[in-house]
Amino acid sequence: MSGNSFGKLFTVTSFGESHGPALGCIIDGCPPGLELSEADMQRDLDRRKPGTSRHTTQRREADEVRILSGVFEGKTTGTPIGLLIENTDQRSKDYSKISEQFRPAHADYTYMHKYGVRDYRGGGRSSARETAMRVAAGAVARKFLEQRLGIRIRGYLSQLGPIKAEKLDWDQVHQNPFFCPDADKVPEMEAYMDALRKEGDSIGARINVVADGVPPGLGEPIFDRLDADLAHALMSINAVKGVEIGAGFDCIDQKGTEHRDEMTPEGFLSNNAGGVLGGISSGQPIVASIALKPTSSLRLSGRSIDVNGDPCEVITTGRHDPCVGIRATPIAEAMMAIVLMDHYLRHRGQNADVSVSTPVIGQL
């Protein structure tokens, strides 16, 4: 299986470049009988869509997804689901300059060395444009998980550059263009982004994702632990440089007595584990956090080299997100949904007939 597929029983395979005719994906392994329509995916796609506020790229894509197979009379049939999004706003511009230069911190240089050729129009395959299909596929997983198992997956921006959210009010997350759960910080974020845009610079961000209602038992040690697959999925999102589960890097100076989540018949007393013990879900909320680097497409000139290895100065024009983290919330949610879905099916395949007398305890 080559690098554009993810998942072993719920398998998402994707194609498409930023400025090609279309993006698409195939979901193979979705169980039959799930009610599914384009609207289910459109909701999440619209949350990811560019151009919805002045803080994201002004590229405008309808991002209208079409279901081409796998759904019959409104329900999935168990056969592969083909999805397609036509690219509509491929601005015809002169790419001759960028075709000869490598933008610093971009995939230009590495694609050239890997493939010997690259589609330089808008970053081609390395563009975050491909994440649209992740969101569409994730929406299918999410619907199944919600309907059949009562699992709810939600994310939020917990930090934008130096500004940290200090409150987690889920109701606020969709009330502002940042997916920020702390309403008090939104004005500060807006001012920060406005200044940044003027400067021409960009900034990093942190996104947290939480899944509630996950049953215990998901995860396939020793290599396909649930947290390992989550790390894989989340690190595969463009611009992500770090992944934490539960306490994450804070565990370094925690003592064992502090870190360990004690258990009572009423539930776990804390969740430093982030819902995963020994690579298997514990019934607590699954908690992950990711770091997204600042966009590298800047109009501020940077030193680089051209295809001949000669030095040059690169300025990136065009429409870019000054903080890619802002739009990453639905993408991270989607990847978590895909991982949980895949692991649910794998677990069911191997352990469907397991019965356990020990009661499930949740989070206190």
Site for a second copy in 155-214 (CB under 8 A): 159, 161-162, 196, 201-206
Was 297 annotated as part of a binding site? yes
Rounded distance between C-alpha atoms, residue 22 and residue 63, angstroms: 10
Q: Is 65 helix (H, G, I), strand (E, B) or coil?
A: strand
Selection from 156, 246, 262, 149 nearest residue 205 by Cα: 156
Candidate residues 39, 171, 198, 253; the one interacting with a second copy per rule CB under 8 A: 253
Candidate residues 216, 318, 319, 362; the one interacting with a second copy per rule CB under 8 A: 216
Candidate residues 81, 137, 140, 210; the one interacting with a second copy per rule CB under 8 A: 81
Within residues 97-126, the interface with a second copy by CB under 8 A covers 102, 104-107, 109-119, 121, 124-126
Residue type, 178: F
Q: Please say which residue, 29 or 213, places its beta carbon nearer to a second copy.
A: 29
Candidate residues 2, 39, 92, 171; the one interacting with a second copy per rule CB under 8 A: 2
Rounded distance between C-alpha atoms, residue 4 and residue 7, angstroms: 10
Within residues 220-239, the interface with a second copy by CB under 8 A covers 220-225, 227-236, 238
Q: How far is the CB of 242 from a second copy (least distance, A)?
A: 4
Rounded distance between C-alpha atoms, residue 313 and residue 345, angstroms: 50
Contact region with a second copy (CB under 8 A), list: 9-17, 38-46, 182-190, 326-334: 9-17
DSSP character string of 129-173: GGHHHHHHHHHHHHHHHHHHH--EEEEEEEEETTEEP----GGGG
Q: Please say which residue, 212 or 224, places its beta carbon nearer to a second copy.
A: 224
Q: Please say which residue, 171 or 223, places its beta carbon nearer to a second copy.
A: 223
Vertex 281, ends 156 and 217: CA angle to 5°?
145
Rounded distance between C-alpha atoms, residue 143 and residue 49, angstroms: 20
Rounded distance between C-alpha atoms, residue 304 and residue 315, angstroms: 10
Q: How far is the CB of 41 from a second copy (least distance, A)?
A: 16
Q: How far is the CB of 187 from a second copy (least distance, A)?
A: 19
Candidate residues 43, 197, 213, 361; the one interacting with a second copy per rule CB under 8 A: 361
Was 303 annotated as part of a binding site? no
Candidate residues 42, 52, 77, 90; the one interacting with a second copy per rule CB under 8 A: 77
Residues 339, 226 contacting (CB under 8 angstroms): yes
Overall size of the chain counted in residues: 364
Candidate residues 143, 294, 328, 329; the one interacting with a second copy per rule CB under 8 A: 294
Q: Please say which residue, 171 or 255, places its beta carbon nearer to a second copy.
A: 255
Was 48 annotated as part of a binding site? yes
Was 357 annotated as part of a binding site? no
Within residues 306-335, the interface with a second copy by CB under 8 A covers 307-311
Rounded distance between C-alpha atoms, residue 57 and residue 79, angstroms: 36
DSSP character string of 300-335: S-EEEEBTTS-EEEE---S---S-GGGGGHHHHHHH
The DSSP H or E segment spanning 193 is: helix 186-199
Rounded distance between C-alpha atoms, residue 146 and residue 148, angstroms: 6
* 39 contributes a contact to a second copy by CB under 8 A: no
Rounded distance between C-alpha atoms, residue 155 and residue 181, angstroms: 9
Candidate residues 70, 177, 181, 330; the one interacting with a second copy per rule CB under 8 A: 70
| Total of chain residues touching a second copy, rule CB under 8 A | 166
Q: How far is the CB of 167 from a second copy (least distance, A)?
A: 18
Candidate residues 35, 68, 198, 318; the one interacting with a second copy per rule CB under 8 A: 68
Known binding positions for NADP(+): 48, 54
